[in-house]
Amino acid sequence: MIALRIQHKTIYRYRLPVWLGPHRLMLRPRESRDLRLISSTVTVTPAAIVNWAHDVSGNAVATATFQEPTDHLVIESVAELELDAPAWPVFDIAAAAASYPFDYLPDDRLDLGALRLQQYADPSGGLRDWARAFVRSDPTDTLSLLKDLSVGVAETIRYQSREDEGTQSPLETLERGWGSCRDFAVLFAEGARSLGFGARIVSGYLYNPEREREPATTHAWAEIFIPGAGWITFDPTNRSVGGFNLIPVAVACNIHQAVPVSGSFVGMTDAFLGMSVDVSVVEASSSVADSTPPR
């Protein structure tokens, strides 16, 4: 078990005062058997009315509404939690699903619904053909197939961090040969869906103790539903299986549904100056030590 402290600050700056529309905030980590949330606070400046609700996927969503014009917006989230996911998980996959292809039970097919449907057009079947290339035999081991598909994303696509909004389509990622973590996650999930699996996108944070002193970022990965084992985590960016160093915040069918901060403003077209995002994911003991003034 490891105790972590996550700080996530987003700052928007405007050339002159603007009216802010409602902002949708997905910043509270998802509690589970492997993640115990100790505390979570979200602070918004200027003052806002913040209402909380859960969306259809069970994510905690805050909506901030504003009463006065402003030339800046600061949204800061601080969460403390305990993460207890195993580094080398063993998955108890149902015998009927151990080999691919398999059929989901009728209830599972109904509940998975859109999570089994590709969210991006694949008119020529290029994505499906790419994913089918990882099916080594018929039948083949289900978990090995998904591991190969996840590693295949990292071997096919060159990682490149980018700050611009939006996500590439899977075909764009394959054609360009590069992408960010969210592009990796979408490509993997869509490839799995083309093979008939139920998949969902996950956004959150990555804890990397070797880079704890360096600026962190938000992260994206995917989960696949396998009968018996449930939702299995795959992080194609880091070629890993299981969530021992991942802190999920939101799960969704489409990645645009899991954006940490989204909103709008009304003002002059050139009013927007820019935004910055600062993320820190450290051991709770480290954050306490770092904040201690020198003697």
The pTM (predicted TM-score) of the whole model is 0.93
Please tell me the predicted confidence (pLDDT) of residue 288: 39
Compute how many other C-beta atoms are within 10 angstroms of the C-beta atom of residue 240.
20
| Cβ(222)–Cβ(189) below 8 Å | yes
The DSSP code for 209 is G
CA atoms within 13 A on the CB side of 196: 13
For the chain, 295 residues long, give each residue's pLDDT as a single digit of tens.
899 999 999 999 999 999 999 999 999 999 999 999 999 999 999 999 999 999 999 999 999 999 999 999 999 999 999 999 998 999 999 999 999 999 999 999 999 999 999 999 999 999 999 999 999 999 999 999 999 999 999 999 999 987 666 789 999 999 999 999 999 999 999 999 999 999 999 999 999 988 777 778 899 999 999 999 999 999 999 999 999 999 999 999 999 999 999 999 999 989 999 999 999 999 987 543 343 333 3
Compute how many other C-beta atoms are within 10 angstroms of the C-beta atom of residue 290.
12
Q: Long-range contacts of range 170-176, CB-CB < 8 Å, 24 or more positions apart?
A: 170/120, 170/122, 170/127, 171/120, 171/121, 171/122, 171/126, 171/127, 174/126, 174/127, 174/130
Per-residue CA distances from 6 to 78, 249, 287 (Å): 6, 12, 9
Site of tokens 């696949």: 224
